[in-house]
Copies of this chain bind each other. A is one copy, B any other.
Amino acid sequence: MPSYSAPLRDMSFVLFDLLDVERELAALPRHAGLDRATIEAVLAEAARFASEVIQPLNLIGDREGCTWHGDGVVTAPPGFREAYRQFVEAGWPALSCSEEFGGQGLPLVVNNRCYEMWNSANQAWLMYAGLSHSAYECLVAFGTDEQKATYLPKIVSGEWTGTMCLTEAHCGTDLGLLKTKAEPRGDGSYAITGSKIFISAGEHDLADNILHMVLARLPDAPAGTKGISLFLVPKFLPDADGRPGVRNTLQAGSIEHKMGIHGNATCVMNFDGATGWPVGEPHKGLAAMFVMMNSARLGVGMQSLGQAEVAYQNAAAYAKDRLQGRAAAGAQRPEKPADPIIVHPDVRRMLLTARAYVEGGRALAAWVALLIDREHGHPDPAVRAESAELVAFLTPIVKAFLTDNGWETTTLCQQVLGGHGYIGEWGMDQFVRDARINMIYEGTNGIQALDLLGRKVLADRGAKFAVFARHVETFLQENAAREDLREFTGPLATLLADTVALTRELGARVPQDANELGAAAVPYLRICGHLAFAWLWARMAAIAIDRQDDAFHAAKLATARFHFAWLLPETAQRFAEARAGAAVLMALPEDAF
> What is the CA–CA distance of A561 and B582 in the complex, to the nearest angstrom?
12
| A462 within 8 Å of B (CB atoms) | no
- Cβ contacts under 8 Å, A352 to chain B: 585, 588
| A259 within 8 Å of B (CB atoms) | yes
Which one of A108-116, A415-423, A473-481 is at the interface? Answer: A415-423
- Cβ contacts under 8 Å, A20 to chain B: none
A236 to chain B, nearest CB (A): 28
Flag if A421 contacts B433 (CB, 8 Å). no
From 403 to 457 in chain A, residues with beta carbon under 8 angstroms from any chain B beta carbon are: 407, 411, 414-415, 418-419, 421-425, 429, 432-433, 436-437, 439-441, 444-446, 449-450
Nearest opposing residue in chain B for A580, CB measure = B565
Flag if A588 contacts B348 (CB, 8 Å). yes
Nearest opposing residue in chain B for A259, CB measure = B429
> What is the CA–CA distance of A25 and B590 in the complex, to the nearest angstrom?
37
> What is the CA–CA distance of A527 and B78 in the complex, to the nearest angstrom?
48
- Cβ contacts under 8 Å, A343 to chain B: 590
- Cβ contacts under 8 Å, A347 to chain B: 446
| A183 within 8 Å of B (CB atoms) | no
From 543 to 593 in chain A, residues with beta carbon under 8 angstroms from any chain B beta carbon are: 551, 554-555, 558-559, 561-562, 565-566, 569-570, 572-573, 576-577, 580-582, 584-593
Number of A interface residues at 8 Å Cβ cutoff, please give it: 98
| A227 within 8 Å of B (CB atoms) | no
> What is the CA–CA distance of A147 and B266 in the complex, to the nearest angstrom?
56
> What is the CA–CA distance of A390 and B222 in the complex, to the nearest angstrom?
65
Flag if A345 contacts B566 (CB, 8 Å). no
Contact among B171, B259, B577 with A432 in the assembled complex (CB-CB below 8 Å): B259
| A519 within 8 Å of B (CB atoms) | yes
Q: Residues of A at under 8 Å CB distance from B? A: 167, 170-174, 177, 197-198, 256-260, 266, 316, 319-320, 323-325, 327-329, 337-338, 340, 342-349, 351-352, 355, 407, 411, 414-415, 418-419, 421-425, 429, 432-433, 436-437, 439-441, 444-446, 449-450, 513-515, 517-519, 521-522, 551, 554-555, 558-559, 561-562, 565-566, 569-570, 572-573, 576-577, 580-582, 584-593
A172-B324, A259-B429 known; 5 new pairs, CB 8 Å cut-off, are A258-B422, A346-B522, A422-B437, A551-B592, A555-B592
